[in-house]
Amino acid sequence: MEAREKALTQTSKKARLEKRGKIITFICISIMVIAAASILFFVISKGLATFFVNNVSFVDFITGTDWNPSKTDAAGNPLVGALPMILGSFGVTLLAACIAAPLAIGAAIFMVEISPKFGKKILQPVMELLVGIPSVVYGFIGLSVVVPFIREHISGSGFGIAAATAVLTVMILPTVTSLTVDAIQSVPRHYREASLALGATRWQTIWKVILRSARPGILTAVVFGMARAFGEALAVQMVIGNSVVIPTSLFEPASTLTSILTMGMGNTVMGTLDNNVLWSLAMVLLAMSLFFIIMIRFIGRRRKVK
């Protein structure tokens, strides 16, 4: 009797195991949350120091075009205008997305709808291979191939937004393509069958049914690619020229937030304005990636409602 009571009231082995599992997963997730929170706190507190400790006006920072943190203007305000970099970052990101998106969608349609066997066997591994190439390799190829090509065949020194766009397009193409493939593959089979049964041609089915119902997924893929392009530092730094001016053409040197950030970090002393203002750039970058993430979530949620 006693033994039975004990067995009933005592926590069983399975329950203990479950509890242990819960604790372990909770620890894992809390480490991740703490890491994310501390990164946010660190970047924001450091980035805001420019405005609260060094008394730089935020509007001047966002709209100023003169970047030379070690010098001051006639009125004694430090020259920390980040507008050229912000425009540069947006320029290369949007241009790369505009070129990569149609190519990626076309490739994905080919891989899923036109030639699934060839797509699965050959193109999928190729895409995965391209994702794995380190960005410094892309940058070096850009420096050795793209930049001389633009210099000899188009105009200027070859460095600039055009070269950066070309490199970034190739870099984000595999990401966007594989995500688009997933989106198109997840369109239910009966949509296709119904469309074909109504007498629609293959092209009509692809254009009017498949692309339309996969649209949220495709948009997510493009935004994802843009987030990657926005945050890319090394490859862009090698080919964009890193000149902190607002370029008047695509073939003039420009700069992005990341390229100025990575070039300057090691040369500045912690706690000085030069260093703080770089953290402010990092804060802008962080805000942008948050924006991209929110956008992806927003698009994803809309899909669920449908």
Binding site for other proteins (CB under 8 A): 13, 17, 20, 68-71, 143, 147-148, 151, 157-159, 237-238, 241-245, 253, 255, 262-272, 274-275
Closer residue to other proteins, CB minimum distance, 150 or 288: 150
Least distance from other proteins to the Cβ atom of residue 170, Å = 20
Q: State the burial class of residue 239 (Cβ atoms within 10 Å of its Cβ: 0-12, 13-18, 19+).
A: buried
Least distance from other proteins to the Cβ atom of residue 154, Å = 14
Least distance from other proteins to the Cβ atom of residue 46, Å = 13
Closer residue to other proteins, CB minimum distance, 61 or 159: 159
Closer residue to other proteins, CB minimum distance, 177 or 237: 237
Closer residue to other proteins, CB minimum distance, 165 or 178: 165
Closer residue to other proteins, CB minimum distance, 40 or 265: 265
Least distance from other proteins to the Cβ atom of residue 38, Å = 19
Is residue 232 within 8 A of residue 258, CB to CB? The reply is: yes
Least distance from other proteins to the Cβ atom of residue 229, Å = 21
